[in-house]
Amino acid sequence: MKTIKKILLGLAVAAMMPVAAQAQNCADFFSARTPAPSYRYNQASKSATCYSGSKYKFVLEVAANVEYRVQFYASPVFNNEVQVKIVEGEGNVLYDLPGKIDDGEAKKGTTCLQDYSDPKTNKLVHPYFDFTSQNATRLTFMIDIKEHMDYQEEPVYDEWGTLIEMKKKAVVPEGGPEKVKGCFTVYIVDKPVENGGSF
């Protein structure tokens, strides 16, 4: 009888494993990160389950004379199809950036998620945003996760029928875009600034 119970328990655990594998614990993101030297982890950092086709808002209270470095991360399921607006105080827009650029090479200040090549070191750098203020203020991050779309490549021809390029085209599934979920993370580190600063 004990053997049958063990077998049934084993089957139940095995059946639950795919569900557990799909479940996301977004907070696990922070356990694998260590702040760069001189920076300390800021407890305001947040990683939460989000859905495609949805908008989110996150507020960071900024202390005077502290340098903040903010980075954004998203689950691969979102395919970097995100728009992030960073607003200071009562509406001063500091950044309004897509998660990635479709054409050309990403450069510093052009995306909020897509890595870019640092010309000085020739290494890939994940976008980051530094802020300091002489007075306490507030930063609001407006996060717009776009609808999840599948893409297919379509040929583009010139007037003589010569293939110019293959261009990605969104394919809307029957019934509309699929709703997907994943993690979106606002990772914040900070350090004191002796001379203060301003936005």
Domain chopping of the chain, boundaries: 47-147+176-192
Structure tokens given for 47: 């990683």
The mean pLDDT of 140-163, rounded to a whole number, is: 84
**The pLDDT value given to residue 154:** 80
Q: pTM score, two decimals?
A: 0.74
- 139 near 88, Cβ under 8 Å? yes
Residue range 2-58, pLDDT digits in tens: 554 444 444 444 444 333 333 468 988 888 888 888 999 999 999 999 999 999 999
The mean pLDDT of 106-126, rounded to a whole number, is: 89
**Residue for token digits 């340098």?**
67
**The pLDDT value given to residue 187:** 96
Which residues sit opposite 35 in a β-bridge?
none
Q: Name which residue leads in pLDDT, 164 or 152.
A: 164
**The pLDDT value given to residue 195:** 63
Return d(Cα 5, Cα 152) in angstroms, integer: 50
Return d(Cα 113, Cα 116) in angstroms, integer: 9
**Overall fold of domain 47-147+176-192:** Jelly Rolls (2.60.120)
